Amino acid sequence: AQKITQTQPGMFVQEKEAVTLDCTYDTSDQSYGLFWYKQPSSGEMIFLIYQGSYDEQNATEGRYSLNFQKARKSANLVISASQLGDSAMYFCAMREGPSSGAGSYQLTFGKGTKLSVIP
């Protein structure tokens, strides 16, 4: 089974509107972390936001917020007031807890969502 599922290969959003990028995850660990990265056409992975499994409040970073629904195992990224520079690939990733043994700290990525912001 996929550990990270991003069901939207591509999304379009009008400039200045909000957009939600979906991410669901699968883990049996109690302690884990969820990340969102942005990858523009230049190729570099840019960290956006982090949510720990024990964090009670949804993470926010500027225009980015993470809609964390633990029971549903979803960690959707919300981008408010979209800008043209937001056009990029967006990857959801998970780091499973230290109790899982070998490979504890690697990130497992989804296949990504390509966001296009329309002027």
Q: Among positive and negative, which fits the CA dihedral 102, 45, 19, 50?
A: positive
When the beta carbons of 20 and 39 are compared against other proteins, the nearer one is 39
**Backbone angles phi and psi of 57, in degrees to 5:** -100, 150
- Regarding 109 and contact with other proteins (CB under 8 A), the answer is yes
12 binds other proteins (CB under 8 A): no
DSSP-assigned letter for residue 58: P
Cα separation of the two ends of the chain? 38
Q: Is 68 in the site for other proteins (CB under 8 A)?
A: no
Q: Does position 37 bind other proteins by CB under 8 A?
A: yes
- Rounded to 5°, the CA angle 71-75-80 comes to 135
Nearest CB to other proteins, comparing residues 36 and 117: 36
Residues lying near other proteins in the complex (CB under 8 A) = 4, 33, 35, 37, 42-47, 50, 91, 93, 95, 98, 102-112
